[in-house]
Amino acid sequence: MNAKRTAGQSKIAVVTGAGSGIGRAVAVELLRAGWSVALAGRRTQPLEETAALVPEAARLAVRTDVSRPEDVAALFAAVRERFGRLDLLFNNAGTFGPGGVPVEDLSYDAWRHVVDTNLNGAFLCAQAAYRQMKEQDPRGGRIINNGSVSAHTPRPHSAAYTATKHALTGLTKSLSLDGRAYGIAVGQIDVGNAATDMTARMRTGALQANGEIAPEPVMDVADVARTVRHMAELPLEANVQFATVLATAMPYVGRG
């Protein structure tokens, strides 16, 4: 399909994991900025709740398990049918898995679930977006992968999550290189301690590298959303390859 942008058409984004947390915050930020957004996630009700936060905006909610190739294909087909083109994929869906499980006790099923969601799901969505962006007119677009500070430094007992986030950095670099010829810009945002349900335990106490349990500072998830929007709205001739956004006082930089 050679989709062509019509005059006055808003830019089109797909946000995975849009039913909560960072995905919801980014979707709302883009919707309020005038983007048309396809909201993807495993459960319909949270997607509808996200959509209701900006009721006047153009959006589409598609129940999607990103680890299933048929679900991803259906998502991007629905986006083509509704909006005709694609300008941005925010590859956000992910799971930490069973937190706090030592590697020797981590089941293979749990490992596979994290890999299938965080890495295979990101690949499937990026591949589908890449194919569409190559074909449309004007050609090109942007993919932003949601990494993590775990793409740089692990937490204790996080082998599956950390491995997938390190792998996501390699995927980002490879997609960025291969996308040059087609006007496809690919970058990654690495987030540390944004205030979401996933990080609620940080405020009460998280296991540290020295074995202690200590509360950690968090930041407003809206600050992450604004950063993603900045990356998304750059012209395709410019790219934020990697951005790290974290709670200023969290125990990340330095020894600890």
The candidate with the shortest Cα–Cα distance to 9, out of 28, 41, 45, 35, is: 35
Contacts of 170 (CB under 8 A, 6+ apart): none
The candidate with the shortest Cα–Cα distance to 146, out of 30, 69, 244, is: 244
DSSP-assigned beta bridge partners for residue 176:
none
User: Is 161 among the residues known to form the active site?
Assistant: yes
Catalytic residue among 130, 161, 182, 252: 161
What length is written for the chain?
A: 256
Q: Helix 221-232 to helix 21-32 angle, to the nearest 10 degrees?
A: 50
Judge whether 142 and 179 are in contact, CB under 8 Å.
no
Amino acid at 203: R
The candidate with the shortest Cα–Cα distance to 184, out of 118, 219, 248, 133, is: 133
Separation between Cα atoms, residue 162 and residue 159, nearest integer Å: 5
Judge whether 79 and 56 are in contact, CB under 8 Å.
no
The candidate with the shortest Cα–Cα distance to 179, out of 230, 140, 125, 237, is: 140
Residues assigned a catalytic role = 161
